[in-house]
Amino acid sequence: MFQNAKDTTAKKNIKKVAVGYDLGRRAAQISYCGLEESEPETISAVAGGEQYNIPLALCKRKGVGQWYYGKEALKFAEEGNGILVEDLLTLAERGEDVLVEEEAYDPAALLTLFVKRSLGLLNIRISLSQIEAFMFTVEELTPRMVDVLGRVAAGLQLKGAQVSFQSHLESFYAYTLHQGRELWMNDVMIFEYTDLLKVLCLTCNRNTMPKVVFIEEMSHPEMARRIWREEPELKEQQMTELDLMLLHIAGECLEGRNVSSIYLLGDGFKEDWAKDSLKFLCKNRRVFRGNNLYSKGACYGMMERIRPGKEWKEYVYLGADKLKSNIGLRALRCGEDSYYAVLDAGNNWYEASSEFDIILEEGNTVEFIITPLTGENVSSRLITLEGLPERPARTTRLNVQIEMSAVNQAVVTVTDMGFGEIFKSSGKAWNQTITV
């Protein structure tokens, strides 16, 4: 596991902590770290063990309003004493009521209940009032998922805590940047084997400023999890076939790449079947096996939002949910032309917004400068303020609000503020969507 042995009793003295909560489709994980520390710790569902996965399930006791969560929920349902509700994240994403004993339940409320109950495991180590910041990480951060997580976060009532969201890919990025530099001098890969095999490859363009990180994702449905045969010979044959299949896929994925390290994630690697493929993966590179990378990466990502480190400032990750371009304006400062940064590339699009005032030099246009970090040319977007009253140069103050409505679209609202007592505001406002 990606875990260092520590004296957990010392954790009781931590004043403030950051929490990384990995919300998967089948299980959840919780990692946490003191803000003055450098290594997160992952909570085990069993005291003294390394059983980090908390099954994402609830079970309602028959006839009463009593709910169980995680492994206890599975056990209680298996014994026939309750009604099991699984796939909580998927249900919340769909948004349809869940019917349990002829009563309808809000799926987001059920997911919130699960998260609350699971945080009881963390509460054994620390008081929840010590949480300074809380990061949810999920496989894919769609607009609908952002809405669901927002509702869950509100239901947790983490007083004063900063709550954020990031994808598994960004958690991979955050985890990588907190490892020894020798582990990410070149590409870094994840082979994640749960229901099927997913391969992630992190690459970096170090010729830009800031340095740009990309993560490529490849799925291999042909590697769907096997149901092992009971007969020893047939099971051995299945394992050999799966090993050869992974060896072939690994060869294709690594061809032409210089890879420093590889992480093997997921329950699919639990049994000792990947023999020849593992030997191949270990040639001239470091290979690690575990399953708590995403929750620890979420914890690292949260700490960087609070106190960005040197390397976090030097690198920017441009994932699917990230703003790919810097957005700014040309401005006159102290009589000289300069650039005024409005939104920075690398921020989550759903969190990117800005509001500021400008003095219009002349005319009736506002021009935004779009500078992609993906290699395209710099371009501009012009907003014409039709009907803006004519005034002398530098006597029109405008309030500008910009907010991302999608990963490649921004909504800009410009309001005429007049110029103090000299020129009253016309009350006019202009609203336009620009591509970025």
Per-residue pLDDT band at 13 (split at 50, 70, 90)? low
For residue 295, the cross-strand partners are: none
Question: What are the tokens at 158?
Answer: 């983490």
170 CB burial (10 A radius; 0-12, 13-18, 19+): buried
* SS3 category, 80: coil
For residues 353-372, give the mean pLDDT.
92
Q: What is the pLDDT confidence band of residue 374, given thresholds at 50, 70 and 90?
A: confident
Q: Does residue 71 surpass a pLDDT of 60?
A: yes
Classify the C-alpha dihedral 271-275-280-285 as positive or negative: positive
Beta strands in 58-105 (DSSP E): 58-61, 67-69, 82-85, 98-100, 103-105
Q: Which two tokens stand for residue 15?
A: 């004043």
Q: What is the DSSP string of 114-172?
A: HHHHHHHHHHTTS-GGGEEEEEEEES---HHHHHHHHHHHHHHT-TT-EEEEEEHHHHH
Best CA proximity match to 172, nearest among 155, 150, 188: 188
Question: Could you tell me the two tokens for 411?
Answer: 């909504």
Q: Is the peptide bond before 210 cis (omega within 30 degrees of 0)?
A: yes
CA distance 28 to 333: 51
Give yes or no for residue 73 having a pLDDT over 90: yes
Average pLDDT over residues 137-157: 93
Q: Which residues contact 433 (CB under 8 A, 6 or more apart)?
A: 405, 409, 410, 411, 412
Assigned superfamily of 172-295: ATPase, nucleotide binding domain (3.30.420.40)
Q: What band does 21 get if pLDDT is binned at 50, 70 and 90? A: very high
* Distances, alpha carbon 412 to alpha carbons 323, 378, 389, 394, 417, in Å: 16, 19, 20, 21, 16
pLDDT of residue 15: 78
For domain 8-167, the CATH superfamily is ATPase, nucleotide binding domain (3.30.420.40)
CATH topology for the 325-435 domain: Substrate Binding Domain Of DNAk; Chain A, domain 1 (2.60.34)
What pairing do the DSSP bridges indicate for beta strands 131-138 and 162-167?
parallel
CA distance 162 to 425: 37
Q: Which residues in the chain are classed under CATH 2.60.34.10?
A: 325-435
Q: What confidence score (pLDDT) does residue 367 get? A: 92
Task: Give the pLDDT band of residue 11 (cuts 50, 70, 90).
Answer: very low
Torsion angles phi and psi, residue 306, rounded to 5: -80, -50
- Report percent pLDDT > 90 for the chain: 74
Q: CATH 3.30.420.40: which residues of the chain?
A: 8-167, 172-295
Residue 171 pLDDT level (bands cut at 50, 70, 90): very high
167 pLDDT higher than 90: yes
* Eight-class DSSP state of 26: S
Q: Does the pLDDT at position 326 exceed 50?
A: yes
395 in Cβ contact with 422 (< 8 Å): yes
Distance CA 328, CA 436 (A): 11
Is residue 55 classed exposed, middle or buried when 0-12, 13-18 and 19+ CB atoms within 10 A define those classes? buried
Please determine, for residue 12, whether its predicted confidence score (pLDDT) is greater than 80.
no
Mean pLDDT over 349-366 rounds to 91
What gap in Å lies between CA 224 and CA 370, rounded to an integer?
A: 43
Q: In this predicted structure, what is the pLDDT of residue 54?
A: 96
Q: Quote the DSSP letter at residue 348.
A: B
Q: What is the rounded average pLDDT for all residues in the chain? A: 91
Over residues 378-433, the pLDDT tens digits come to 999 999 999 999 999 889 999 999 999 988 999 999 999 999 888 889 989 999 99
Report how far residue 99's alpha carbon sits from residue 262's, in angstroms, rounded to the nearest whole number.
43
Q: What pLDDT is attached to residue 9?
A: 43
- Choose the weakest-confidence range: 34-38, 77-81, 170-174, 394-398: 34-38
What sign does the CA torsion over 333, 335, 339, 342 have?
A: positive
What are the angstrom distances between the C-alpha of 138 and each of 155, 180, 312, 364?
18, 25, 21, 44
Which tens digits make up the pLDDT trace of 124-133?
Answer: 999 999 999 9
Which of helix, strand or coil describes residue 296? helix
Residue of 252, 241, 256, 265 whose CA lies nearest to 191: 265
Query: Which three-class secondary structure state does DSSP give residue 213?
Result: strand
